[in-house]
Structure 1
Amino acid sequence: MNREKALVIFSGGQDSTTCLFWAKKKFKEVIAISFDYNQKHKLELECAKELCKKYHVEHHILDLNLLNQLAPNSLTRTDIEVDKDAPKEGLPNSFVDGRNMLFLTFGAIFAKQRGIYHMVTGVSESDYSGYPDCRDVFIKSTNVTLNLAMDYQFEIHTPLMWINKEETWKMADDLEVLHIIKEETLTCYNGIKGNGCGECPACYLRKKGYLDFKKSREN
């Protein structure tokens, strides 16, 4: 039983990269896993690969193309533009049905084969975008289900669950990786590294959080 290792669900974006460095501080060995579901911007996979290579993290990319076939949306189809504003009813068209559930399930299968009990994911309920699979209750229920399904004691860590984007930037600063997160991650729904396009919902949250963080640091 090895509880010194952790598997990070890794996209190369601000949140998952912050969690990657959080895990590197907490655990002796960290492995990152990314998923290729034929997303519109494959650059996020390249970004994840580059980050892991640069910062000496074992990295694996799993094929999850079936998700693309089952759940067409603005992150997987070039003919669907990302909603700039949250809809009055229903979920944003950037929501991929079942994505985090599948990521955690396949991540858990991978982790068990490696004798890993700890999994880390960058979901957050505080900057809630209307995504039901970012809620704490979903993570807790999935954790129980995985443990029962595999007769294995997984522990899913969500370091960002109760903090907003301003506090996520502060965490990166505390971890001494602020520059890495700002310059080398890809959060933008339009596939632009660093500050991104500045227009999509992901860029708006990222920029607002950074400005709030800078303001709080100046006070």
Structure 2
Amino acid sequence: MIIIESKRKKPATILKKYPNAILADVTSGAKDGLVKLSPFYPHGGIPVPFSEGYTATCVEAIWQGLKVFEGADVDIQMFYNDTMKNIKRTVRRFGKPLGHRKGVNGTELLGYIEARKQIYIPAYRWVLENKVAGIIERLREASKTKTIVLLDYDTNSDVENAKKPLSHASLIKAYAEGIYPYDDVDVPHNKVSENIVLQLDLFNQ
């Protein structure tokens, strides 16, 4: 079983609710291999949706780089940020956000929810499939016999909810369970031996 909880909660509070659970921090602040699941992690080579020839270091760089404001258009330099820092483009600096450009050279601006569906969610799926497949398989197998609690700063799993940021942990859970949003492709479930080593590998691959 995979559960999502706020990283802001005390571990003791979570473990009281889910005794013997494995707490898995999947934020950029993770101290183990699970940091690779963060949208800020600089895997590199991530294709920018609707932008042939462009790749980015991380998913968040794509999301921020394609954002358009009253005072600023697309920022392709954001695609090259590999520091896991300063990957936010703010209203205070650039003015009211107008949407996300559908590709670096696109003419269409996508609304917030549509941008989630066409930019963020596909880009993050690419990372899950091409950069962290081993971690996801271990997570999937471990969740069959253990309770895995994914810790994220955001816990909103409703793609249509524009009032709260979408939890990337919810996308990890959905992918591991074969129900990734806006995708009809079944996720293969390969057999992996379940033992204590698997639990340790989950955090260090």
Same fold (TM over 0.5): no
Structure possessing the higher relative contact order (Cα contacts under 8 Å, 6 or more residues apart) = 2
Larger Rg: 2
TM-score normalised according to structure 1 size: 0.29
Which has the larger share of helix? 1
